[in-house]
Amino acid sequence: MSLHTDVDSGLQETTGVLREERLPYQANTSGLGARLRDVFRRTYDLGFTCFGGPPVHFQIFHRKFVDGLGKTPWIDEETYQELFAISQALPGPASTKMLFAIAQIHAGLIPAFFVFLLWTFPGAVAMYGLSLGVKRINDTLPDPVYALLSGINAAIVGIIALAAVQLARKAITDKLTRILVFLGGCSALCYNAIWYLPVLVLLGGLVAVAWDCVLQLWFRTWQLRRRRKTSDVPEATPEIEKTPSPQGEVPGHIHAEDSRHLSRSSLAPKSTSDVATLTRSVVDQTLRPSSNEIPPHAISVKLGIVIIIAFFVVFTALMAARGALHTIPTLVSLFNNMFLAGTIIFGGGPVVIPLLRDYVVEPGWVSPRDFLLGLAIIQAMPGPNFNFAVYLGAMTVARSTSPSIPTAIGAIIASLGIFTPGLWILIGFQSIWRPLRKRREVSCFLRGVNAVAVGFVFTAVYRLWEIGYLSAENSKGISLGQDPWWLVVASGSFSAVEWFFVPPPVAILVGGVAGLGWWGVGTS
């Protein structure tokens, strides 16, 4: 087989692989009604089936909107990785921001808000219903309920651990990202503060920029200079073997055809895998959309800057009122606290829990027992963990001195307060992201942010493990390591989802049943 045939077959093979990996995707530019129907068909079930928190949500979004699952993808792998890094680098609920951004890129701003409502509504209704029931229960729950909640927590730990491993497979591409994932997870384990996680995210991005854009460039320049100095030294010319020449030819002469053949051979790939490597880059550039194209649903840069400035004006006004006023109505204080929490929280649901405890338990709005009960339930609820604010808002109004205010008002105010900052900043940042993403420094920065954020997911596994075991004597939660059975449940949910493709909701329910079985055996 000739070299040209190898190259052609390699090109066809690689093109086929890339076409299989990169299915055609494009934004929906139809009328508003058609776009709303489109996003409804693809996202209506997410609010009911996305269990396990942000780490699991990211994997579900990848399968649904990048792989397509037999349908047209909404975004490509590169855009997904960029949005994942952005959702971690900006404050607010990580998975909610990512879903909102995907829907906005595909169908526009109004359909994105529609997807947000579909995403949050089921879990919000469930948490509000929980608040109505918690008001009527005793201070101590029955032992089977504690066992059920502990089993659910153990199963969720296994699923989040699996999500962390799967995200790491995509984020760890070289030694630098391996180091950043390791250091990000270890650093978040050792210390926890409001300002700490944003600083780690920033440092991870800066380290990636320094390594990719400064140190590696310097090293390559140094290597090039060394090669040039070495090439200046005269080398011995290899003696051409004199073979018997055909009639009328000078010994040692090389045919022009042979010369062309040698030239092609010296420059050509040595194997089919090398052919695939070279042709992959060519085809990749052909199939990738041009970065100069303006997305049909993009927001102008000027409008985006205005949106960002308006946010900081509102945030400054709210914080000034928070410090200046001594007596503030409970509902206003509730919105203020939730707005502040949604602004300064990086990393999503696992990070928001300890901060919200300071904002609602310390003022006396929610009792410690009610807070921990809601915390255990939200881990088993589908949708965003920020729906925990719905429960806390309703419980705040229920314990207030104004019984005439419906608890639903508190739930709505708390939900608006905690979700608004992240979406507000995201909408403004999406407009300036288009020109920024063309710069190599920005892509390197997001690579570092992405790796550190994956490290935070491993931290979330440990933190939930340490408070997952609930009992009447330990209603604040203790380590699941107190009983080996919970490790069995966690590893079982990990294995079932990873190797046997059991849906995460089923694995969580089985974990709850396993908790009840543990209680039944222990009391028999």
Is the CB of residue 384 less than 8 Å from the CB of residue 98?
Answer: no
Say whether pLDDT at 14 is over 60. Answer: no
Overall average pLDDT of the 135-164 stretch: 84
Overall average pLDDT of the 327-355 stretch: 75
Is the CB of residue 107 less than 8 Å from the CB of residue 39?
Answer: yes
Distance CA 147, CA 125 (A): 24
Query: What pLDDT, on the 0 to 100 scale, is given for residue 93?
Result: 86
Distance CA 335, CA 330 (A): 9
Confidence band for 385, pLDDT divided at 50, 70 and 90: confident
Is the CB of residue 507 less than 8 Å from the CB of residue 162?
Answer: no
Distance CA 220, CA 66 (A): 35
Token pair recorded at residue 138: 């005793």
Confidence band for 472, pLDDT divided at 50, 70 and 90: confident
Query: What pLDDT, on the 0 to 100 scale, is given for residue 123?
Result: 92
Overall average pLDDT of the 276-298 stretch: 49
Say whether pLDDT at 455 is over 70. Answer: yes
- pTM of the predicted model as reported, rounded to 2 decimal places: 0.66
Confidence band for 122, pLDDT divided at 50, 70 and 90: very high
Distance CA 60, CA 53 (A): 11
Short-list 296, 290, 383, 291, CA closest to 109:
296
Distance CA 92, CA 386 (A): 9
Least-confidence region, from 139-153, 256-270, 360-374: 256-270
Pairwise pLDDT comparison (214 vs 251), residue with the higher score: 214
pLDDT in tens, 225-267: 888 777 765 545 444 444 444 444 444 444 444 444 434 444 4
Token pair recorded at residue 310: 């308006």
Least-confidence region, from 11-15, 156-160, 246-250: 11-15
Q: How far is CA 417 from CA 122, 274, 309, in A?
A: 18, 54, 18
Short-list 499, 472, 468, 505, CA closest to 483:
468
Tell me if residue 299 falls in helix, strand or coil: coil
User: For residue 209, how far is the Cα from the chain centroid?
Assistant: 20
Query: What pLDDT, on the 0 to 100 scale, is given for residue 233?
Result: 55
Q: Which residue's structure tokens are 């994997």?
A: 59
Tell me if residue 478 falls in helix, strand or coil: strand
Token pair recorded at residue 187: 């650093």
pLDDT in tens, 75-104: 988 888 888 878 877 878 888 999 999 999
Confidence band for 213, pLDDT divided at 50, 70 and 90: confident
User: Which range has highest mean pLDDT (7-16, 216-225, 414-423, 451-460)?
Assistant: 414-423
Confidence band for 269, pLDDT divided at 50, 70 and 90: very low
